Structure formats: structure tokens, C-alpha cells
Structure 1
Amino acid sequence: MAPRDHVPDRSSEPSTDPWAAFGSLGAGVLLYGGLGWAGDRWLGTAFLLPTGLVLGAVLGFYVVIVRFGRAPQEPPDPEA
């Protein structure tokens, strides 16, 4: 195998995959909704599931905005 002279570092670029954003939203709702459901069953209450669902949706939106809301960065100009 030949060595790679120039491999662009894409770790700092935001993803453009809409399924990754959907996965972040879904994971937040499922995680916090599941915790709320378990808390309701364990404590015998009825408010933790809706609270967990809303909290998971809000945190999921926050993660999507932070992770995917940045504009793509321009590569540095080698002539400058």
C-alpha cells in the first residue's frame, strides 16, 4: 500500500446525514422517555413519562443544533 500524502481531516466538519440528526432526536426521546416510564412504574406516579418525553425532545433538538447547525468551514487557502 502506498502512503497517503494528503488525507483531509473531516472530524471537525458537521455531518450532512439527516439520519444522524433523526437518530439523535430519537435517542433522546427514547432514553428520557424510558427513564420517565421506569420512574413512573417504580414510584407509582403519572407525570414522569410525559416529562421525560418532553425533556428528551428538547435535549435531542439541542444536540442536533449544536452538532449539525454549524456552517461548513472553508478549507485553508494554500496560496495565502
Structure 2
Amino acid sequence: MTTPPTPAPDEPTEPTGPTGPTGPTELSAEDKAEELRRFNTREQDSAWRAVAYMLTGPLIYGGLGALADHWLGTTWLVGVGIVGGMALSLYLIWFRYGTH
């Protein structure tokens, strides 16, 4: 019986990965269901987080605009705050979730 030649140190070898050198193992139905549940949970968390960004950006910056309007005696900073908060929220969502 012959053994396979060992590769030189700079030659690529087969990846062993988490399943070991014998190759990938088949996941059981329970493991597949658990992976699917985790994936769905992550997706739902991402969606709710995006909704929270869309609500809080305009609310916070609109509120800051309202305070600035009250202190400065103007009436247009609320609108600027709401639009700016929406723009920042959209940018944050795009930056966080749109680059995957």
C-alpha cells in the first residue's frame, strides 16, 4: 500500500474546514431547520432595525429642529431636521445593509 506524497510547504492542500479532512458531512434535518430558523431571525432583526432607523432619524432630527426653531424664533428648521434625519437614516441603512 502506498501513501500519497506530501505536498511541499508552499503547495496548497485540501482544506480541512470544520468538518475535517474527510470532507463535508451531511446536516441532519434538525440541524437544517435550526440553521433556517437562525437565518430567518437574523433577517427579521435586520428588517425591524431598518424600520427603527427610518422612524428615529426624522423624529430625533425633527425634534432638534423644533428646539432650534423655538430658540431662534424661526419656522423652517423642523422641516430641515426631518428631511436631514430621513436622509441620514437612508444613508445608514444603505451603508449597513446595502453593501453585503
Pick the TM interval, shorter chain.
0.5 to 0.7
| Number of the residue aligned with 2:96 | 67
| TM value normalised by structure 2 | 0.54
**Larger fraction in helix:** 2
Residues matched between the structures, number? 58
| TM value normalised by structure 1 | 0.66
Greater RCO structure (CA 8 Å; 6+ sep): 1
Unmatched tracts of structure 1, length 5 or more: 1-5, 7-14, 72-80
Unmatched tracts of structure 2, length 5 or more: 1-17, 19-41
Ranges of 4+ aligned residues in structure 1 off by more than 4 Å:
none
Structure of greater Rg:
2
The more displaced of 58-67 and 19-28 is: 19-28
| Number of the residue aligned with 1:37 | 66
RMSD: 1.5
The CA distance in 1 between the partners of 2:98 and 2:64, in whole Å, is 28
